[in-house]
Structure 1
């Protein structure tokens, strides 16, 4: 029993298309999970909301979204003392960065400079993740 070449080729093409869609869905799941975690964090009040963190969004260029997510992972890791859920956000950001680029290994170094409150950082990160989820860029 032999399989004809066109049938085999069609089958291989379908498999390739399906795996690309699955990779997009997994990335989408990481983004959506982070958005849910951020919404949960933003609804809770904590005294450490005013904690200063590096403002990675101050000079953000739209071309460097993977680098931005890598830096966001670093800041999320630093904020884990305030919110336990930031550990999950860090892990998801790390996975997104690893999948999107071989150049960056989260957590990325973050240069000291402008600072913002942890609450404002989380609001900005939420906006960026919602935009990425909507555009399926990562």
Structure 2
């Protein structure tokens, strides 16, 4: 059922015509701000803050922000069992990525790990940068 939702949304956008694309882009600030709020709230109460996840932000100078968001979506998807708000965060990040050529979630290569708490802190910083820049530019 969840895979049919993006298909339905895409169909609605196509049926609505060219004006719908502008509407979707205008939702980015709302999605970003909501995602920042979710991450900020989770940082205070995350039940699995000590859980280890792949540290996608380490050495991230070679990745653009869109790639980081896509990889973050994969980590969030894998960790949804840990906290109920992660599902909403995953849906927001996925919606943000729908306007790019990358499809969430992206594969994440194994590497160094970090705590979920630090991952959320780094994700919070990335989302704030995106709000300042208005959209994701490489």
Q: Structure 1, residues 56-100: CA drift from partner, whole Å, max 9, x if none?
A: 00121376111110000001111211111011111111111111x
Higher mean alpha-carbon deviation, 88-97 vs 60-69, is at 60-69
More helix by share: 1
Q: Which residue of 2 aligns with 1:108?
A: 106
Residues 118, 136 of structure 1: alpha-carbon distance in 2 compared, 3 angstrom cutoff: same
Q: Which residue of 1 aligns with 2:93?
A: 93
1:35 aligns with 2:36: yes
Larger radius of gyration between Structure 1 and Structure 2: 1
TM-score, normalised on structure 1? 0.78
Structure-to-structure mapping, 1:52-131, within 5 angstroms: 52-61=52-61, 64-99=64-99, 101-102=100-101, 104-131=102-129
Residues 112, 92 of structure 1: alpha-carbon distance in 2 compared, 3 angstrom cutoff: same
Moved over 2 A (4+): 16-20, 22-25
* RMSD across aligned positions (CA): 2.0
Q: Structure 1, residues 15-74: CA drift from partner, whole Å, max 9, x if none?
A: x79964x4442011110110011111111152x211000000012137611111000000
Contact 1:24 1:136 in 2 (8 A): no
Report the CA distance between 1:135 and its aligned residue. Answer: 1.2
Q: Which residue of 2 aligns with 1:13?
A: none
Distance 2:61 2:42 in 1: 26
Distance 1:23 1:136 in 2: 14
